[in-house]
Amino acid sequence: GLQLESVLQEPLRTDVCKTWVSVVAFLVKPLLNNRQRQKRLAWAKDKKDWTAAEWSKVMKRGENPRCLRSKVNAAVYQDVLEHFMLPAADQLYGDADFIFKQDLAPAHSAKATSTWFKDPVLNWPANSPDLNPIENLWGIVKRKMRHARPNNAEALKATIRATWALITPEQCHRLIDSMPRRIAAVIRAKGALAKY
């Protein structure tokens, strides 16, 4: 499915939100096998000392509205990175450090994509919506869109963009600030899903 993932900062929040909107399929929480729980626990322990300020440097991007489509291969993904993610990162962060986060979708983990990156990206455990604040942000968007009745794909995209533009910087900051608590919850749960 398509995803939008971002940790946003105030000055360009509206522009970035408008730029990086995509359609997301809302899925039920995944079942985790023992190996996934162990990896999540190890990942959480490794990140347990990160502060909210450090998490604010993490960003993840999915599709640009110009690239909304049901299938994204490595070539399309790299094009999005080159033409949309990098310029947005330059606007948001300038010369400051930031960390790019991506999941294990085939286009993201393809050898060609790994080669495309000169710097390593943040490792992220699979099947971990509870460690991903954007899932909560999409829940907010979904609730705001509850009564919308778009009658075609273009109307749906327009409704998502308009609803996304209503997300406040405070909502984004609250979600960023929740990362240390999410990490602690996963450690307490010994790698199982936390209630986020």
Where are the domains positioned within the chain?
A: 10-31+57-166
The pLDDT value given to residue 85: 74
The pLDDT value given to residue 65: 38
The pLDDT value given to residue 20: 40
The pLDDT value given to residue 35: 94
The pLDDT value given to residue 56: 79
Cβ atoms of residues 24 and 3 within 8 Å: yes
pTM of this prediction exceeds 0.75: no
Residue 60 burial (CB < 10 Å; 0-12/13-18/19+)?
A: buried
The pLDDT value given to residue 119: 66
Q: List the pLDDT tens digit at each of the 196 positions of the chain.
A: 333 343 433 333 444 444 343 333 334 567 899 999 999 999 999 999 998 888 877 754 433 333 444 577 888 888 777 777 777 777 777 777 777 777 777 888 888 888 887 766 677 888 888 998 888 888 888 888 888 888 888 888 888 888 888 888 888 888 889 999 999 999 999 999 998 8
Question: In the block, which residue shows the tokens 């910087």?
Answer: 169
CA distance 178 to 65: 28
CA distance 160 to 24: 10
Residue 82 burial (CB < 10 Å; 0-12/13-18/19+)?
A: exposed
Q: Which CATH superfamily is domain 10-31+57-166 in?
A: Ribonuclease H-like superfamily/Ribonuclease H (3.30.420.10)
Question: In the block, which residue shows the tokens 């995209």?
Answer: 157
Length of the chain: 196
DSSP conformation class of 4 = -
The pLDDT value given to residue 29: 64
CA distance 66 to 69: 9
The pLDDT value given to residue 191: 96
3 state DSSP class of 86: helix
The pLDDT value given to residue 17: 43
The pLDDT value given to residue 37: 94
